[in-house]
Amino acid sequence: MRGRQAPEPRAIARSSRQRRAHGRRWPLLVAVACTGVLLTSATYTHVGRLATAYVFVVLHFYIGVVALVALSLTVMLGLASTDRILLKIGQRVLLQTVHRATAVLAVVALGVHIAVKVLEAHAAVADAVIPFFSQGRSLFIGFGTVAAYLMLLAYWSGLARSRFAGRVRPWVWRLLHASAYPSWMIAMLHGLNAGRQAATWVAVSYVICLVLVGLGLLVRVLARFGRYAIGVKPGPVIGASPYTAPMPRIESGRRPARTLDGRSRRGGDQLGSRPRLVAATAPRPRTGRSRSPQGWPNA
């Protein structure tokens, strides 16, 4: 009978990750359930109803701002973490960590913002799902729905980055993750025009953020496409021959297999021989008429 095949290392790693994720999920579910029970119980008391009303007022006025600020920080930190001119590796890793934290905050604030607007009847459920669906609604509410979808796409691509490695080309992931930029710009239009009139300093701060991100993108593009133009291109070595000198190869110190008579299978090498340098043969010159340094064929 054939024995059972050992599980692959990839399957073992996947199952261990699933067990760890399942173990971390239970405390979160318990905390959410307890919070829901406490909030529901608090609404049956006078103090609880008053506190709930204040919480809804605060969420109504500020949770959208929190989502937009968190999204702005996510975009700017993500752009800054790709800098290789001023930042070191440790600093880039730190910025990427903060970038992920602000992304989680932006998505959570987005969900709360949508729930509050639907509960207060400021937007219909269809407005939160289908952009530009309801009649008589403002155009900028539909922009908010589009921005939400783009934000979720960028967030999902960040979570699934490891799944793209080795399966698709890198530009596919970059294109998906770059949806954060149009999401941020459309979210600014939604925030400035869908709700109450924004203050002047808010509009000025949005413009400053747009300019800074635009400059950062310009520097990133120039650094990427001008990397080979700025760097020193390799040239011919002075005094080198037309044929590159071969590098000596190193034989492996692996012990060769032995035959029944005790000899090695590789030309009589002894067991346990040390690695040794073997001179490599120079490449054979091309036959035919050679060319002079000026490029003309010699007679």
Q: Note whether 249 and 279 are within 8 A (CB).
A: no
Rounded to 5°, the CA angle 11-13-16 comes to: 110
SS3 at position 250: strand
205 domain residue, yes or no: yes
201 domain residue, yes or no: yes
22 domain residue, yes or no: no
Phi-psi region of 142 (alpha: psi -120 to 50; beta: other; left: phi over 0): alpha
The secondary structure element, H or E, covering residue 249 is strand 249-250
Instruction: Give me the number of domains the chain comprises.
Output: 1
Residue with the two structure tokens 């920080």: 73
Kindly report whether the global pTM for this prediction surpasses the value 0.95. Answer: no
- Per DSSP, helices labelled H in the chain are 9-42, 46-80, 89-119, 125-129, 139-159, 161-164, 170-177, 180-193, 200-225, 227-230
Residue with the two structure tokens 């590098």: 247
253 domain residue, yes or no: no
272 domain residue, yes or no: no
| Per-residue pLDDT tens listing for the chain (299 residues) | 455 555 565 555 556 666 665 556 677 788 888 887 877 777 788 887 888 888 888 888 888 889 988 999 999 888 888 888 888 899 999 999 999 999 999 999 999 999 988 888 888 888 888 888 776 667 888 898 999 999 999 999 888 888 887 777 878 888 899 999 999 999 988 888 887 777 788 888 888 888 888 888 887 787 777 654 555 444 444 444 444 444 444 444 555 555 555 554 444 444 444 555 444 455 555 555 554 445 444 44
248 domain residue, yes or no: no
155 domain residue, yes or no: yes
* CA distance to 42, 59, 61, 296, per residue, from 54 (Å): 13, 9, 11, 89
252 domain residue, yes or no: no
Domain of residue 188: give its range. 63-125+132-229
